Amino acid sequence: MSGVYCYFGITSSGKTTLAMHHLIGDMKRDGQPALVLDCMPARNLRDYPHAKDPRAVVELLYGMPAEGELPARPRTSAFYTPRSEDELAKLLDAVHAAGARGAPVHVLWDEASLHQSPQHLDGRIAQALRGWQHNGCTFRIVTQRPADLHGVIFATMPEVYCFRLERQADLDRVRAELRLDPAVIEKLNQGQFETYPRDRFKTLKGAAHDSDPHRVGSSEDPGRHADPVHADRNVESPAPVPRPLSQDLGRGGAVPGGGPGPDAGGAPEKP
C-alpha cells in the first residue's frame, strides 16, 4: 500500500534484496508500474535495462507515445540512474503530479543518501514524499548511510527495516529517530533486520526516554530477525521466493499470465 518504507544496512546486508522483493509484491497487488532509481548504480541492478533519459522514463511509466507514435503504449516499469539532484527532483515531481491525477507508481530509490544531506533536500523531493497519501505512491528508500538522510524522511513516519550498521553516526541516528538498540543492530547477521512500523512514530513522540516499549521484538520473539526472501512477517506461511525481477517488471507491472496492466487509455496527460 502507499507510504514510505526505509531499508538501512551495510553493503550486502540484504536491504536491497528485501526492498526489491517488496516492490514486486506492490506490483502484483495492484498492477501499477515501478520506477527504480538506481543512483549509484548498484551492482545488483546494473544488469536490468535502464532508460536513457528522463523523457524515456516518463514515456515508459505513463504510456505516453514517443515522438510521432500513436496510439499511447501500455504503462511499463523503468530503471534509471539520475545524473543530478535536479534531474531526480524533476522525476519525483512528475511522479507526484501524475499520482495526484490518478496514475500512481511504486518507487524504489536506491542509495538515497547520494542526493541529500541532513541539511538539504530538494523541495520537490520533499513534497513527493510528504504527499504520499495524496499521490497514492509507494516510496521504498534504500541506503547504507541513514545518518546522511534529511529529517523529512523520518517525518513521513516510514516503516523501517534496519539491517546491520557499523558506522557510529548511523547507529546514533537510528537510536535517536527510531529508538533501535545499536548494540543489537551492529551484531545482526546478513539477512537479519529489526523493524519499526509506521504507526509507532505517533506514540514515540510522547514516550519517556527511560523506557523503550517501541522497539520491535525481544529475546522471546523469534520473529524479530527475518530472512529477506520471507519478509512478509504478518503472513503465517512463508512468502514464495521471488522470480527474477525481469519477469515481474513487465508492462503495467503485471505478472506473466496474471492479466494485463492498467488500461493505457486512462493515463494522465504528460507530467
Per-residue burial over 216-250, b if 16 or more Cβ lie within 10 Å, else e, is bbeeeeeebbbebebbeeeeeeeeeebeebeebbb
Q: Which residues are registered as beta bridge partners of 106?
A: 34, 138
DSSP-assigned letter for residue 162: E
pLDDT in tens, 205-252: 444 333 333 333 222 333 333 333 333 333 223 333 333 344 444 333
Percent of residues, the chain, with pLDDT higher than 70? 70
DSSP-assigned letter for residue 47: T
For the chain, list the domains and their CATH numbers. 3-246 (3.40.50.300)
DSSP-assigned letter for residue 117: B
DSSP-assigned letter for residue 132: H
Split at pLDDT 50, 70, 90, the class of 96 is: very high
Cell of 151: 529529517
pLDDT in tens, 138-161: 999 999 999 999 999 999 999 999
* Inter-axis angle of helices 85-100 and 123-130, nearest 10: 30
Residue 44, burial from CB neighbour count under 10 angstroms (0-12, 13-18, 19+): middle
Q: What is the mean pLDDT of the chain?
A: 77
pTM for the complete prediction?
0.75
